[in-house]
């Protein structure tokens, strides 16, 4: 079935380092979303992308909608301890209300 693959699966970085992660799909998406989830909490929307090639920033976060519409990228600059969590990409599949989530990237920031 459909799967949104995120890589890396997990990463350990030093505080202050930049982070890059990506999400790839076998299907075309018209919208990409990036969420962050803290343990035991609900996902929080970080960035939404609506156009192929679009580059959008939210503070230290920057996300890009891949040209092929089958991938998206998230970068975090100058990481801080509160960036710890699981980052999910997501997109609507089989209809506007049917949001499908990627496999997630678990980020650990070492102070």
Applying CB under 8 A, the residues found at the interface with other proteins are 30-31, 33, 35, 40-45, 48, 88, 92, 95-104
Contact assessment for residue 89 and residue 32, using Cβ atoms and an 8 Å cutoff: yes
Q: Please identify, using beta-carbon distances, which residue of 20 and 103 lies nearer to other proteins.
A: 103
The least CB distance from residue 19 to other proteins, in Å, is 19
The least CB distance from residue 99 to other proteins, in Å, is 6
The least CB distance from residue 59 to other proteins, in Å, is 16
What does the alpha-carbon distance between residue 90 and residue 74 come to, in Å, rounded to a whole number?
A: 12
Q: Please identify, using beta-carbon distances, which residue of 43 and 66 lies nearer to other proteins.
A: 43
The least CB distance from residue 16 to other proteins, in Å, is 28
What does the alpha-carbon distance between residue 62 and residue 52 come to, in Å, rounded to a whole number?
A: 15
């Amino acid at each position: 079935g459909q799967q949104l693959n995120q890589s890396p699966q997990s990463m350990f970085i030093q505080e202050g380092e930049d982070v890059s992660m990506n999400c790839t799909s076998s299907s075309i998406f018209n919208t990409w979303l990036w969420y962050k989830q803290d343990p035991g909490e609900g996902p929080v929307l970080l960035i939404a992308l609506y156009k192929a090639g679009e580059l959008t920033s939210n503070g230290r976060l920057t996300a890009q909608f891949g040209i092929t519409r089958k991938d998206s990228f998230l970068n975090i600059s100058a990481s801080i301890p509160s960036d710890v969590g699981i980052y999910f990409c997501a997109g609507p599949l089989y209809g506007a209300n049917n949001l499908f989530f990627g496999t997630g990237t678990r980020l650990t920031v070492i102070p």
